[in-house]
Amino acid sequence: MSDHYDVAVIGSGPGGYSAAIRSGQLGKSVICIEKCGTDQSPIFGGTCLNVGCIPSKALLDSSYEYHKVLNHASTHGINLNDISLDLNQMLTRKESVVSDLTKGVAGLFKLNKVKSIRGFATVKKDLCIEITDEQGSLSKISADNVILATGSKPVELDVAPSDKKNIITSKEALNLDQVSHELVIIGSGAIGLEIGSIWSRLGSKVTILEEMEELLPQADVQVSKEALKIFKDQGLDIKLGTKIESVKKSKDKVQIKFGEESIEADKLIIAAGRVPYLENLLDEDINLEIDSNGSIKVNSLCETNLTGMYAIGDAVRGPKLAHKASEEGVMVAENIAGLNTRLDYDLIPYVIYTHPEIAWVGMNEARVEEINIDYEVASFPFSLNGRSLANNEKQGFVKMVVDRSKDSILGVHIIGSNASELIQQAIIAIKTELSAEAFGSLIFSHPTTSEAIKEAASLINSKAIHISNRKRKK
């Protein structure tokens, strides 16, 4: 007789562990099945905590600290000699951060009475789940509700199959034990730009190849153009509109040919996006609907076409972002418990953790024009912000898009230091329907980088103090 649960969650990434914990908080009997781990113990956190968001941010921070000391310490009157890089210690710190967070999830599971098991899960009829461990032993459970939170995996390119040595994915790129002389990255999205930034700061010559004609086409065009200029000034060689024709390995080198050009590198990093991870998840009798992109079809509540089965996060439509997955997990858990919870998908923030950071929420100019809203924009540069100048962080700007007739904020786009933190203020303003004039009338502490958002809002109504106002169109 199999064990039975109110909720069974497959996958323990941000979406999975959030769904499991919230279900436990709501009094449900919960089990979470995770395939990764050592011995018989699962390691929680999925791609984000283990090989994605967290380790990359740890290395981004460490590499930037090294870069600042190496290149900017003298600006502050700090003179240092014999600066050296201890890459092993940098990687050890990264692993320590990851370990602390994964252990934290385990503690939260225990606190909220969430049972966990390690193994590969296959969903069978009547929401029965067969779990196979590494030794091939089988166990079975059943549940009233199953939440598929299996995440995603890196896109594989036929022209450049990964060998985990010279042709690698983002996972291996965060564990390189030495600084390569020359790296080539395929893909200029968030993953490619962040990994490129890490190794460029540590001394690698980094070339990024992108098939699209524009950098970050989903971002506001003014932001993407500024980002391209800044990244090139930082030494990232970004080649747009490049189609890879061939990739050849020779000894310890990789040769990449595109158009009339070719380049040789120590490592080729594939960062061309991610696709849902659904391998061996469903028994052949399970008629779960999958869309043309390989994602599980769901409605706005993350319900699949099968009663009692839900899917969230990277396994479904929408951006592959940890915070989106987490909120979907909470929503599903609450709706299973009988609460009426909805997500506002229009207010999902996007962040790229380069330096300067890039972040946006809501609509950009192109989208506003597409749906024919009468709008206006205002931009305030960080070069006119007192705190940014004091911090020697004067690159970038805040751009606000506003409905002209309603004075309502439609979108905010930021490229600059701490953009990932500043964008949260924009989310709150849009969600609470705060007008640009009301936003600009708020009292912000001085000096702070947040004042740049206040100034952008004030500029809409010609009330900015630290930049020349222009007459508002009637």
Q: Judge contact between 347 and 362, C-beta under 8 A.
A: yes
Beta-carbon contacts of 239 under 8 Å, excluding residues fewer than 6 positions away, are 207, 208, 209, 210, 258
Let me know if 446 is a catalytic residue: yes
Count of other CB atoms within 10 angstroms of residue 224: 19
Catalytic residue among 72, 355, 446, 466: 446
**Residue among 208, 445, 152, 344 nearest 453 (CA):** 445
b/e map 196-215, b = 16+ CB within 10 Å: bbbbbbbbbbbbbbbeeeeb
Q: SS3 breakdown of the chain: % helix, strand, coil, rounded to 5?
A: 35, 30, 40
Q: Judge contact between 177 and 87, C-beta under 8 A.
A: yes
**DSSP helix/strand/coil, 399:** strand
Q: Judge contact between 465 and 444, C-beta under 8 A.
A: no
CA 225, 226, 231: angle at the middle one, nearest 5?
100
What is the pairing mode between strands 309-311 and 350-352? unpaired
Environment class of residue 195 by beta-carbon count within 10 Å: exposed (0-12), middle (13-18) or buried (19+)?
buried
Residues making up the chain, counted from first to last: 474
- By annotation, the residues acting in catalysis are 446
